[in-house]
């Protein structure tokens, strides 16, 4: 309650309300092939938010982000810096599965951007971990490749953005070099999280 009696919803309630309003969304052509809108999951007050590109087949069925093979690797990546999935908030740049797991297209990313912005306005993360070039490029509005974006911090509103390789890319490219770079990025994200966290 505020002093004048207006009710201000907490983060969980605000996100639930956003998710409810999103049901039946037809803002872009991804609505035609999706089974479920994959809104996001985790702690609504998380200081660290993980942003992927878009749901795959498993996520489309279960309605939760990063639950397939890439998601299992993401869970291990987070654990490697002592973070549990329920301590962070995990979401995607687009909320509906692109057909055949293709990358989301520019118009789809643009249609979903206000939804993502609304989510971030509620969560107010201190650190954003962007997975892969689609998420990193669309959040940072750049065409620079992920190999150039990663390894350093980017200002992102009141937060700092850490780009790294997408776990699906790491599964397709199992060389030690990419793993080592991703590990460096995760440690960077962890350091920023420790320095900036509010709780």
Compute and round to an integer the Cα radius of gyration of the chain. Answer: 16
Of residues 98 through 137, those in contact with ligand URA by CB under 6 A are none
Q: How far is the CB of 71 from ligand URA (least distance, A)?
A: 6
User: Which phi and psi angles does 107 have, rounded to 5°?
Assistant: -70, -30
Question: What residue spans of the chain are helical by DSSP H?
Answer: 11-22, 57-62, 69-80, 106-123, 132-140, 146-149, 167-172, 176-196
Q: Does residue 39 belong to the site contacting ligand URA (CB under 6 A)?
A: no
Is residue 52 close enough to count as binding ligand URA by CB under 6 A?
yes
**φ, ψ for residue 23, nearest 5 deg:** -55, 135
User: Could you tell me the smallest distance in angstroms from the CB atom of residue 102 to ligand URA?
Assistant: 12
Site for ligand URA in 70-89 (CB under 6 A): 70-71
56 lies in the site for ligand URA, by CB under 6 A = yes
Taking the least distance from each CB to ligand URA, the nearer of 42 and 68 is 68
Q: Does 165 bind ligand URA (CB under 6 A)?
A: no
Q: 11 Cβ partners below 8 Å, 6+ apart?
A: 44, 45, 122, 123
Q: Which residues bind ligand URA (CB under 6 A)?
A: 52-56, 59, 65-66, 68, 70-71, 92, 168
């Amino acid at each position: 309650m505020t002093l004048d009696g207006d009710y201000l919803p907490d983060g969980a309630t605000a996100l639930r309300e956003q998710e409810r309003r999103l049901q039946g969304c037809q803002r872009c052509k991804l609505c035609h092939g999706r089974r479920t809108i994959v809104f996001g999951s985790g702690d609504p007050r998380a200081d660290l938010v993980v942003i992927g590109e878009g749901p795959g087949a498993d996520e489309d069925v279960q309605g939760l982000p990063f639950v397939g093979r890439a998601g299992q690797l993401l869970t291990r990546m987070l654990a490697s810096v002592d973070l549990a999935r329920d301590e962070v908030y995990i979401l995607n740049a687009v909320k509906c599965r692109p057909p055949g797991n293709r990358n989301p297209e520019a118009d789809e990313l643009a249609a979903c951007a206000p939804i993502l912005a609304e989510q971030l306005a509620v969560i107010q993360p201190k650190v954003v971990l962007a997975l892969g070039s689609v998420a990193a490029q669309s959040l940072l509005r750049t065409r620079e490749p992920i190999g150039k974006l990663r390894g350093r911090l980017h200002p992102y509103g009141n937060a700092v953005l850490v780009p790294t390789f997408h776990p699906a890319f790491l599964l397709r490219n199992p060389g030690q070099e990419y793993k080592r770079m991703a590990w460096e990025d995760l440690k960077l994200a962890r350091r920023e999280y420790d320095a900036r966290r509010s709780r």
